[in-house]
Chain A
Amino acid sequence: MDRVLELGGYAAGYCGRLFVQAGCDVVRVETGERPPAWVSDEAMDLYLHAGKRRIRTDDPRLIAELASRADVVVAEGHTADAVEALGFDAWDAPVRAAITPFGRTGPKRNWQASTNVLLAMGGYTYIMGDPDRAPLTLPGHYPEFQSGAFAYAAANACRLAGESEVIDIGMLEVVMALSQFTTVMWHCDGAIRERHGSDFYHVVPTNLFRCADGWAHINIVPGFWDPFAAFLDLPELVLDERFGTNELRRQNRHALHAIIDAAVAPMTRAEIRRRAEDCRIPVGVVQSLDDVLADPHLAVRGFWQSVHGGESAPVRSPRRAWRIDGQTPPDRDLALLETPAAEARDG
């Protein structure tokens, strides 16, 4: 199994998390500075760093020594120069991945960034939110986590091939690479993709609807139109000429949304799910965090792993997104470890 050295913020942290869950020995160097997060330091540590060995140091010689003993180094900096200042280019490890907001080259390589800035520049923000209001930024750490996942894939590909490589991942490009159809829509159709609240707009109905005890998201591509009418208990919709095709439903979206609003409003989320299952249509209900934690499906599938650190009681944290041969997470708590430097160095 690889020895992985990790330095930096939440992108490197997410990459290291994936290595931990693959069974690798991950040493995380912490320098004391950490970027603001959406959650407390405690929560972020439990989520990202459980199972890693962590040392606090800013001694460049020690870091270089740790790097020389690693198979993979993942270093994140808030600018290109910050990664260089760590000594990244001099480290001796077969695979070195640098994650920075804008990449290690180019005129903006040292621009300052935050999650909302990267999402804005990468084209996500403009299309999220309501048309008559400010666009909405995405909460959480999407550019960072996705960048970490790219770094993980790239580093493992290099290890598989037995190749030494220096990897340069810019988070802005990560966001842009994951655009849905925004870019080709402009280049091929001359159209700027606009924002329409929760309404996907091009396929109708695809939107959030308020129900008796919350919200439900309904996503009816044409093949599901007839069963959707049954779901609503409005079979007459199938014969309604205003809604006979997706194009007609687009043209008459307001009338259709009003009908759905009225039909869904008295239903509970549980009833909506039951009906959706019976009619085999794609509907999800908005789950609270309590709902997700209590979700019977996730429990049955062994989705959670227990993590603890310090004085805290154990909490449930998601395992990695995939399972191999049905394996569930190790039947042990993962602990946050504070590792003396010598121990980290020697393994």
Chain B
Amino acid sequence: MADGPLRGVRILDLTHVWAGPLGTRILADLGADVIKIEAPTSRGPREGARFNFSGWIGGEPGDEPWNRVAVFVKLQRNKRSVAIDLKTDAGRETFLGLVAVADVVIENFSAEAMPALGLGYDALSRANPSIIYMAMPGYGKDGPYRDWVAFGPTVEAMSGLSHVLGYGPEEPRNTAMALMDPIAAVNAAGAIVTALREREATGRGSFLEMSLHESGVVFCGPWLVEHQLGRNVERIGNRHPAMAPHGVYPSRGEDAWVAIACRDDRDWRGLCSLIGAGLDPSASLAERRMGCDAIDAKISAWTAARTREEGAVALQAAGVPAGPVNVTPDMTADPQVRERGFFVPLEPGPTPVPGNPIKMAGIGSGDWTPCPRLGADNAAILRDWLDYDDERIAEMEREGVLADKPPP
């Protein structure tokens, strides 16, 4: 567990996939005691994951492949794990016991999943009136879309983002990376600290609800306001409505690129002085936008003769925002990132995992703990939080209510 300002805050984390676990990772990095409440099958079958497109932590599945799925492990640092079957009476009773001494419960199931288990907000708030319950359904707990099946990519299309993202008017694109999830994740962390502060003032628990869909629409807010003001919001590829030139330009090497932006006339003059090529340093933004095809061609000729790093460094020296289009080895090798110790070699391998972008004296990665094994903390949590004795815990293990591995 990490130390940090949220030390002492107990969070029961029932989330899965990306948005929820990423949100609770932020809270765990800030010092919260996050207990991952997992089904014994939550990490996949015993012989290996159903999906594994990002490899195994350490490079091999090992003896416990369910504990080594990289895309799962990277989201679980600083958490502890209790694997418990909530479909059993004993499992539910124990879970409600944990709720009674916790501060927060967070889940991102469909709208009906928790009530169907008898574990909706009403039941949890009876167990603990000061509990903060956060639900993260795809489209919310009410409204006409409440029962729609939702994943990040499908919600993205509904949010308005696909209206603006793409190569041109007839070529919309999705991010293909479920962008609504990381947006919801960071908002979830903010929502929970907000509710904790409100509870501090009122003494009462609360029901928080945040849908993937609405998180995404919030991100699109400026375009929605602009549209109502009667101004056109267009899909313009890598160009920008208020900057020119602005784009992603080819660099020397295969599929190598550099991103460049001229925020103002000063940046433009810096670019002209570096590249030359007959570019007019006195051209206004309107003139640059008008002539952007010709300008982009001249910039491309210059960037294509240099590596992405060479191009970016030269442009930065001229005061122009520029950066290489990085892939992972570039990211972890970046001297800026290395000096700030951003990637944390916490997991076996060792596997560098992105750290927390919140830097402050009260938190650091020195005391961080890696992803717990499935059910690794069953006994410790039930003993410490609920005073269960060893015999009771052993009985729950024998009956399959608690587990530390998936069923055969």
Contact = CB atoms under 8 A, between A and B. Distances in A.
A301 B224 CA distance: 17
B222 A38 contact: yes
Contact of B357 (A169, A202, A281, A325): A169
Contact of A167 (B246, B332, B360): B360
A222 B44 CA distance: 14
Given A165-B362, A284-B156, 19 more contacts: A39-B226, A43-B222, A106-B339, A112-B320, A112-B321, A112-B322, A117-B259, A117-B260, A134-B247, A176-B357, A185-B53, A191-B55, A208-B157, A284-B155, A291-B160, A292-B224, A295-B158, A297-B145, A298-B143
A141 B362 contact: no
Nearest to A116: B259
Interface string A140-154: 111001110111111
Contact of B219 (A103, A140, A219, A291): A140
Given A126-B327, A149-B190, A208-B162, A36 B240 contact: yes
Contacts of B227: 289-290, 293
Contacts of B408: none
B307 to A, nearest CB: 14
A108 B224 CA distance: 35
Q: What 3 A-B pairs have minimum CB-CB distances, sorted nearest first?
A: A189-B55, A188-B55, A284-B154
Nearest to A134: B248
A252 interface: no
Contact of A106 (B70, B153, B340): B340
Contact of B223 (A38, A42, A173): A38
A170 B248 CA distance: 22
The residue in A125, A141, A200, A292 that gathers the most chain B C-beta atoms within 10 A of its C-beta is A292
B206 interface: yes
A120 interface: yes
A45 to B, nearest CB: 9
Interface residues of A, number: 152
A229 interface: no
Contact of A184 (B74, B200, B231): B74
Interface string A94-136: 0000000011011111011111111111111111111001111
Nearest to A186: B328
Nearest to A202: B53
Interface residues of B, number: 153
Nearest to A149: B186
B143 A297 contact: yes
A76 to B, nearest CB: 14
Interface in A145-190: 145-147, 149-154, 156-161, 163, 165-170, 172-174, 176-190
Q: Which of B183, B259, B322 has the most CB of A within 10 A?
A: B259
A203 B218 CA distance: 27
B119 interface: no
Interface string B182-209: 1111111111011111101000001111
A134 B250 contact: yes
22 contacts: A43-B226, A106-B336, A112-B322, A114-B243, A120-B324, A126-B325, A126-B327, A133-B167, A146-B186, A156-B194, A156-B196, A177-B354, A182-B328, A184-B73, A189-B54, A192-B328, A207-B174, A216-B157, A277-B147, A277-B148, A301-B143, A320-B187
B246 A183 contact: no
Most buried by A among B143, B150, B198, B236: B143
B220 to A, nearest CB: 7
A218 B182 CA distance: 20
